Amino acid sequence: MEDDRKDKQKLSRRDFGRTVGAGVGAAALSGLGVEPAEAEGRPPHWDKQADIIVVGAGATGLPAAIEASEHGASVILIDANFDVGGHAMVSGGNVALGGGTSRQKKYGVEDSADLLFADLTDWSVVEPNGFPDYRYNDKEVIRAFADNSAPTFEWLVAHGVIFVEKAPDNLGAGATGNSALRENHAAPMGWTLMQTGKPVDPTEATTRSSGVGLVRPLEAAARKANVQILLQHKMSSLIRQTPSSGKILGIKATHEGKILNIAARKAVILATGGSSGNVNFRRMFDVRLTEEYNGVAGEPYSFQDGSGELAGIAIGASLWGAYNQVGEFGDRLTKAGRIGTQYGYRNLEWQPGSPIFHLVRAVGLTVRDYQNVILVNQVGMRFYDETAGQYTANNYHAISSYKPGSYLNAANIKYNPANFLDAALAGTGEAVNGGGPIWAIFDADAVKREQWTVAPPYVDIAEGYFFSANTVAGLASAIVNKYQRKPMPGAALENAVTRYNSFVDAGNDADFGKPAPKYKIQTPPFYAAWAMPVVHDTRAGLRINGKCQVMDFSGNVIPGLYCAGESAGGFGLHGLARCLVQGRIAGMNAAGEASEISKA
């Protein structure tokens, strides 16, 4: 097993950039049309066959493959990456499973499947900015999740996942329900972290939370169940009897430049992980998320390219639950937690020991105190209070006087429409979307206060995500980045800094209400660091029913096609739980499909 892991890491250094690049290129945006042979249901040759084909080996695909195999089906599990895990591999390992788990019972947390269902469909829960967490969840999908949530916790434990021994809590939770604590944490044990290239300190192996502690035990369980795992195999299209009718027969996949036809005697399960990294796809929901929002959470290890959704749409599948994708709650979009790097997701810190650090390029600078920086848009103007927080989400006791289904839950919130993300996305008044890059501006004194090292590998100078100069005007001139559509005017940046410094003298930010501005920007050298918000959750996808069967635009089930996790729509929950539960549901139901022997 250890030799296999070393081989995977060698492969990553040699081929990974090429592989993932293909994954988000023309194939992902082409519409993935059905070829003539596919339309007739007669591919020229089946290169491989199994009862079930699972596409994507992450938090959805691994449980789906294990369940299908343990229910008697032969399973091929493919993934475009050089290793398994998807986004889950580099996640925080936070798993919101409730409904009456053994862990909840052990620590006296009262919960049930009915209470979980009620929580996740409560129309009356509203965030301070007016956005509801649960109002637009699909009740059939949520009922299936609620009924299978507690059993999934026990199933994970039975399949080798070790959870930190503590009561369920709210850490890492997002839209998990107001009535009970449900967040559990997968322990990393001795597994090597993808983001660091080494295990955690042994003293933290059972007390820290990490996605590797979820992925590696499930990988081992899948191999034990005789699941055939094919890495660096990327699905390019689904094969259906006709383009718009009949059963799903299998998939086309690419591997090392070759096209393979892989037959599914029973079903195909799409577990491809969402669409947040596909610019044109995500802009169907939010036109503002243009290409400069290029630091998607989980990248550059795992790419959410929309390939599952596109393949489904190409054979007639419907999209579903679009509101949840634009709803401004939770981690759909987050403030940059690290600046000076393309990949600034606050909960994922890459280190030079990672096998893919050559793609990451920089650790980034963690901003401990946003009093130390101002943020400006591409024309050098401030646009909001830099200390403003994230979108909020409902969790246990977020509404202190909570009454299920009561209008008072919304009526009694303290309304606060202001949010940094809306200001960031507003742009510069031009007739273009997105607004261009956002830069954190600071000086040498701020570097000392934050104790930053403003050199590689902490900042990405070579690719244009970090700049310095001895004058503010010179700093504006130095900023050259492919997403900076026009040069930043030096006078504008000078005016922004001068005005902000006057606010420090006055103790009041007259423009945006930043609480008692503390520090002037006045000591050279001056710095500009990339500080774009990070795109995260995919919360809309293909339409599914409670069995995770994919449905078409007429509401009919597409025979032999299942979808689960972030590629499926109808569920606004943040994180791993919906992926794990729906993966199991899809695997069990797909295994029960009638077998169809495909023609060679």
* pLDDT interval class at 596 (50, 70, 90): low
Listed residue (524, 587, 588) closest to 269, CA to CA: 587
Tokens of 367: 């901003």
Is pLDDT above 80 for 346? yes
Query: Greatest CA span in the chain, whole angstroms?
Result: 79
* pLDDT interval class at 43 (50, 70, 90): low
Is pLDDT above 90 for 10? no
Residue 395 falls within a domain, yes or no? no
CATH code, domain carrying 2: 3.50.50.60
* Lookup result for tokens 């059905």: 34
H or E stretch covering 252? strand 245-255
User: Do 363 and 319 fall into the same domain?
Assistant: no
User: Do 584 and 485 fall into the same domain?
Assistant: no
Residue 398 falls within a domain, yes or no? no
* Lookup result for tokens 């070579």: 462
Which of 70-84, 191-205, 350-364, 380-394 shows the lowest per-residue confidence on average (mean pLDDT)?
380-394
User: Do 467 and 366 fall into the same domain?
Assistant: yes
DSSP state of 321: -
* pLDDT interval class at 50 (50, 70, 90): very high
Q: Are 36 and 237 in contact (CB under 8 A)?
A: no
User: Do 321 and 461 fall into the same domain?
Assistant: no
Which of 211-215, 224-228, 344-348, 508-512 shows the lowest per-residue confidence on average (mean pLDDT)?
344-348
| DSSP strand pairing (245-255 vs 258-270) | antiparallel
Report d(CA 354, CA 82) in Å as an integer: 14
**Dihedral angle sign, alpha carbons of residues 241, 242, 248, 250:** positive
Residue 413 falls within a domain, yes or no? no
Report d(CA 302, CA 81) in Å as an integer: 7
State which of 490, 515, 530 marks the end of a domain: 530
Is pLDDT above 80 for 111? yes
Tell me the pLDDT tens digit for each residue of 225-237: 999 999 999 999 9
Is pLDDT above 60 for 12? no
Tokens of 206: 């059972």
Distances (CA, A) of 388 to 374, 497, 561: 12, 19, 43
Residue 414 falls within a domain, yes or no? no
CATH code, domain carrying 468: 3.90.700.10
Which of 11-20, 35-44, 421-430, 548-557 shows the lowest per-residue confidence on average (mean pLDDT)?
11-20
Listed residue (353, 296, 337) closest to 20, CA to CA: 296
Domain with 473, as residue range(s), is 336-387+439-530
Residue 245 has what pLDDT?
94
* Lookup result for tokens 């029913």: 545
* pLDDT interval class at 140 (50, 70, 90): very high
H or E stretch covering 54? strand 48-55
State which of 530, 563, 585 marks the end of a domain: 530
User: Do 77 and 225 fall into the same domain?
Assistant: yes
User: Do 251 and 350 fall into the same domain?
Assistant: no
User: Do 450 and 371 fall into the same domain?
Assistant: yes
* Lookup result for tokens 């630091």: 295
* Preceding amide of 417 cis, omega within 30: no
Torsion angle, CA of 74/64/228/567, rounded to 10 degrees? 120
User: Do 272 and 154 fall into the same domain?
Assistant: yes
Kindly report the length of the chain.
Answer: 600
Report d(CA 92, CA 379) in Å as an integer: 36
Q: In 460-535, at which residue ranges do the beta strands (DSSP E only) sit?
A: 466-469, 526-530, 534-535
Residue 165 has what pLDDT?
98
Q: How many CB atoms lie within 10 A of CB 7?
A: 11
User: Do 330 and 340 fall into the same domain?
Assistant: no
Distances (CA, A) of 29 to 250, 256, 284, 402: 21, 20, 13, 45
Mean residue pLDDT across the chain: 92
**Dihedral angle sign, alpha carbons of residues 378, 381, 384, 387:** positive
| DSSP strand pairing (439-443 vs 338-339) | unpaired
Tell me the pLDDT tens digit for each residue of 530-574: 999 999 999 999 999 999 999 999 999 999 999 999 999 999 999
State which of 530, 549, 584 marks the end of a domain: 530
* pLDDT interval class at 156 (50, 70, 90): very high
* pLDDT interval class at 424 (50, 70, 90): confident
Tell me the pLDDT tens digit for each residue of 367-381: 999 999 999 999 999
Is pLDDT above 60 for 525? yes
Residue 595 has what pLDDT?
78
Residue 37 has what pLDDT?
38
User: Do 350 and 372 fall into the same domain?
Assistant: yes
Residue 542 falls within a domain, yes or no? yes
Is pLDDT above 90 for 527? yes
Q: Are 306 and 541 in contact (CB under 8 A)?
A: no
Cα(first)–Cα(last) distance of the chain, in Å? 34
Is pLDDT above 50 for 81? yes
Q: What is the mean pLDDT of residues 335-353?
A: 95
User: Do 56 and 99 fall into the same domain?
Assistant: yes
Tell me the pLDDT tens digit for each residue of 250-278: 999 999 999 999 999 999 999 999 999 99
Half-sphere exposure of 273 (CA within 13 A, CB side): 33
Residue 143 falls within a domain, yes or no? yes
Residue 399 falls within a domain, yes or no? no
- Which residues, other chains included, contact 201 with Cβ-Cβ below 8 Å and sequence gap of 6+? none
Residue 430 has what pLDDT?
77
Tell me the pLDDT tens digit for each residue of 158-210: 999 999 999 999 999 999 999 999 999 999 999 999 999 999 999 999 999 99
Report d(CA 183, CA 185) in Å as an integer: 7
User: Do 60 and 142 fall into the same domain?
Assistant: yes
Is pLDDT above 50 for 120? yes
Question: For 24-112, where are the alpha helices, taking DSSP H only?
Answer: 26-29, 36-39, 61-70, 86-89, 102-106
* pLDDT interval class at 594 (50, 70, 90): confident
Residue 433 has what pLDDT?
85
Report d(CA 383, CA 424) in Å as an integer: 7
Half-sphere exposure of 70 (CA within 13 A, CB side): 17
Is pLDDT above 70 for 21? no
Domain count for the chain, please give it: 2
Q: Which amino acid is located at 263 in the chain?
A: A
Tell me the pLDDT tens digit for each residue of 401-410: 999 999 999 9
Phi and psi for 450 in degrees, rounded to 5? -85, -10
Residue 401 falls within a domain, yes or no? no
Listed residue (521, 375, 372) closest to 437, CA to CA: 375
Report d(CA 48, CA 68) in Å as an integer: 18
